Structure 1
């Protein structure tokens, strides 16, 4: 197990280096002079002296290889540079906002798994029956509704009409734990609607496939109880595709919660990325994209370890 984990960790480290290099190259391949674009206001050409000064401050006057070496050295120190807008350390802003986005995504994943997995198993055990058709229809409906529509309807019904919760906002957990959880539930639930439908469909299909395997039929022939077979022989073997799908969606959600954070006024990392792109703050964009990409790589590393725990055969593949 340790050897397998070490191999996957080395591969993940290599992928992070490749991602960091690609982010650097893509930003520098964008047409136009970043310093000139940043100083341009209302289509008026900026002062050449100011452009030269900004290029010098950003290190854009250095050869590309020197810029790359400086960039990689700063990353190894955990330094993402300063924002061009207010010269605030980018690492501090990411450290403030990233936990909020992670909290939102993890809460949505837990809600999705709590509902999607048992409902998927129940539908598979009654495949073709009334319960299966109802649950499958509800999942198809959930997948067809865009997340911003779900969020808007949640605000309209739960907040404005029924007045059960606030329309949105953010309160630190340390300040008011109860209100923090209440404000978290609606955006997390909004994300969980679509993700839970995906978990349901994958779990249903996976359970149906596992039920046809020989070891399950052998367990049935030995007279084991149906509950024991489902718990010990079916569910565990059906988890691998669910883990894969959830992990891929979590990685996508790291940078894709923009609409949810906007609707519920949740100050996470995705909204910060949008602001940085609109302001053409290239150091901020590079830092945020790199953090999101690195987390995606680390998430895949964790999934590989989970595979090895769920199915020991993976360790020797």
Structure 2
């Protein structure tokens, strides 16, 4: 129990550090957000109006006072109001968060259902044409940036072949077919990197397990190839794959930032890009804080699972 409480405490500390860094980084960037908001029409704003807006937004207070106020609001679950339209940041995040989580889940599922069987196939056909071709594809998937891949997919499937729309979002309840069609390309773009990682670790793990003593013993006993593969090789080869997937799920959050922007997908990361462009401090802080909480929570869950499976981890 002490180890669990320690891990939870470290996770909360990490969230606080990230929130503090984001607050300071945003507020120390040159430029007055009040002046920026009032000058969106192109004309220079009146200084009196700028001062009034700064007072209204609390930007005239000392930096430490703004920080303590912001921290207290976060603890209460209030992420403030958007500087652009005055809407609730918490409400907008709650509306967009399920879309980003659905995109990440679809990408992870797509990477698993392709990376696992193809990794096993490459290991079983080691040195063959399939192994070499799949290895080249996985290397390209690791080397190709996700925003480049997304742009190429839009040019090929939407602009050239006209198979799907270039981007957008439709609620599932409104049109299920259109919903999954618009979800397919961004999910595939994000899944490419994870697919390459799953493919490589599956191939390496299956090759390693195939030469273990218990596998050679099973072959000597005359067990069928299917039984050896499912009961002895695959079961033991999956543990490293689970580790890789758990660690890479957090990086998928980062991949959604550019992908949502490329495909005009109204998720949490797209909200972050728009907020940064508009210098909307509350929205930037709120989105980054939520993403940080998701990332830390995922890593905490992985730590707790490992601690339950391996007592040596709890002593580290």
Same fold per TM (> 0.5)? yes
Pair 146,33 (structure 1): closer, same or farther in 2 beyond 3 Å: closer
Structure 1 residues 68, 37: CA separation in 2 closer, same or farther (over 3 Å shift)? same
Could you tell me how far apart the structure 2 residues matched to 1:186 and 1:196 are? 15
Report if the CA contact (8 A) 1:35-1:51 is conserved. Answer: yes
* Further displaced range: 249-258 or 274-283: 249-258
Aligned counterpart, 2:288? 289
Q: Do residues 198 (structure 1) and 192 (structure 2) align? A: no
Matching of residue 62 in structure 1 with residue 61 in structure 2: yes
Q: Corresponding residue for 2:29?
A: 30
Q: Deviations over 1:217-267 (max 9, x none)?
A: 565566655544443444444444434443444323324324422333311
Unaligned runs of 5+ in 2: none
Deviates more, 1:182-191 or 1:250-259: 250-259
In the TM superposition, 1:164-183 aligns within 5 A as 164-183=163-182
Between stretches 110-119 and 231-240, larger displacement belongs to 231-240
Residues in 1 aligned to 2:232 and 2:3: alpha-carbon distance in whole angstroms: 25
Equivalent residue, structure 1, for 2:106:
107
The aligned length equals 316
- Preserved contact between residue 84 and residue 280 of structure 2 (Cα < 8 Å): yes
Distance 1:156-1:37 versus aligned 2 partners, 3 A rule: closer
Does structure 1 residue 96 correspond to structure 2 residue 95?
yes
What TM-score comes out, normalization by structure 1 length? Answer: 0.85
Q: CA contact under 8 A between 1:84 and 1:283: conserved in structure 2? A: yes
Q: How does 1:112-151 map to 2 (within 5 A)?
A: 112-151=111-150
**What root-mean-square deviation, in Å, do the aligned CA atoms of Structure 1 and Structure 2 show?**
3.0
Q: Give 1:73 shift.
A: 1.3
CA distance in 1, matches of 2:195, 2:261: 21
Q: TM-score, normalised by structure 2?
A: 0.85
Alpha-carbon deviation of 1:122?
Answer: 2.2
Match of 1:253 in 2: 252
Distance 1:295 1:316 in 2: 26
Q: Distance in 1 between matches of 2:213 and 2:13?
A: 40
**Correspondence list, 1:262-277, <5 A:** 262-277=261-276
Is the alpha carbon distance of 1:240 and 1:70 closer, same or farther for their aligned partners in structure 2, counting shifts above 3 Å? farther
Runs of 4+ in 1 over 6 A off after TM superposition: none
Tell which deviates more after alignment, 54-63 or 239-248.
239-248
State the Cα distance separating 1:312 from its structure 2 match: 6.0
After superposition, give the CA deviation of every residue in 1:26-65 in whole Å (9 maximum; x if it has no partner): 2233234443444455887643322332232222333333
Taking the aligned partners of 1:28 and 1:224, their CA distance within structure 2 comes to 67
Distance in 2 separating the partners of 1:41 and 1:177: 38
Q: Are the structure 2 counterparts of residues 305 and 228 from structure 1 closer, same or farther at C-alpha, using a change threshold of 3 Å?
A: farther
Question: In the TM superposition, what is the alpha-carbon distance from 1:152 to its structure 2 partner?
Answer: 4.0
